[in-house]
Amino acid sequence: MRIKNIVLTLKMPKKFDFLMQFAVLILILFGTLMIVSTNVGNTTKDPYIIPKVLAKQLFFIIVSYVLMTFFANNFTMKRAQKLFPIFGIGIIIALFSTQLFEGVLGSKAWIRIPIPGLGEMTIQPSEFAKVYMVVVMAVFVELTARRRKFKFWTIVRIPVYFFMVIAAAILLQKDLGTLFVLVLLCAICFLIPSHISLRKQQRWVRLGLIIGCISIVFIMSEPVIDFLNGIGPLQHVAVRIENALNPFTDPHNNGYQLINGLYGFARSGFTGVGLGNSIQKYGYLTQSDNDFILSIIVEELGIFGLMVVVLGYVVILQRLFYYAFHTKSEGYKVILVGTAMYIFIHFALNVGGVSGLIPLTGVPLLFISSGGSSLMSIMTAIGISQSVISRIRRQGSVAVSAAAKQLPHT
């Protein structure tokens, strides 16, 4: 159905990437199974918790799938160019409105909507801000790609303005993990364009990323912890670094979650204890269906559960990078690589945090963890990427093999 050139359908566009779509749906179904499994541990507090959690998760899956198909069928650079100010202002308003709601552990990053019979639904606007910044950077890269005389500030002015306001709002929320992801994501996207006016600044950003990676080794040290403890607003960062180094220094308070997450990994063995047989989800891990869901997956399903997650991510990332390398449009490259890095950064930070390799950042495991905002956001990004892939394949930038032509379309 079409309404003023807007396609309303639950089908994907022609020549979308079926393999990536299959991996996304498998991860979501697997994540839903594990979310239900982890919440079995809460039935002692609420005997109706399973149907409530399942109903909420199914609602978010349906909304996310609709968002994915909508953007897959309707996203174009031209429309993004026209509508980015409206979406940007809406996201900024939503980001600052979180200050009106109760925070969690000192962070006010959520809009809370009460739902009778199901508790409340929380929306985290900063998740959508990540996808928005990728699209905005892609739009301005595409606009200036053929105009080599544009100066640096002409190209980046609008994206920088939006980035600064969004970053300020997230900093006000005291959500440093999300701010770190946003900065890293935008920095990587900035390195993609080949415009001559950007090359000098790209060298500095590249150097900054290298220094940042090297400095991680030094951040995980006692002198840095002592320094951060002397700065009031950053004391919680020092605590997270200290917990990553040795969570047993405060096992009943700040190190409690990480210790019990590690117990889940240690208890799993090679094959796991069996689906539904986790002990850690019975009150030991309070974030068992969110930040620490990987610990429950490994505890119950062992290496096989971990491989489902890893292989799913590998397939999605491979497909996104494949098309990014096979298109001449730099705007499309920013979208595809940006989506891939959005997924990879979340994966690296989540796995590194729950395993104690790096400080906890509080970012979810995309497609797997509970949370409607992260699922709707990443599915929106997947929908936009599928729209780009569809156009790349229809334009002949990527050869479509005979086998690929026979893949089923939904």
pTM for this model (two decimals)? 0.89
| Sequential pLDDT tens for the chain (410 residues) | 556 678 888 899 999 999 999 999 999 999 999 998 888 877 777 777 888 888 889 999 999 999 999 999 999 999 999 999 999 999 999 999 999 888 776 778 888 888 776 667 788 999 999 999 999 999 988 877 666 677 888 888 899 999 999 999 999 988 888 999 999 999 999 999 888 888 899 999 999 999 888 887 777 777 777 777 777 666 767 777 777 777 787 777 777 888 888 888 888 888 888 888 888 888 777 777 888 899 999 999 999 999 999 999 999 999 999 999 999 889 999 999 999 999 999 999 999 888 888 888 778 899 999 888 999 999 999 999 999 999 999 887 554 433 334 334 33
For the chain, the structural domain boundaries read 16-215+256-388
314 Rama class: left (phi>0) / alpha (psi -120 to 50) / beta? alpha
Using alpha carbons, select from 179, 125, 165, 130 the residue that is nearest to residue 362: 179
How far are the Cα atoms of 254, 292, 358 from residue 227, in angstroms, in the given order?
A: 19, 29, 18
**CB–CB of 369/56 below 8 Å?**
no
**CB–CB of 122/110 below 8 Å?**
yes
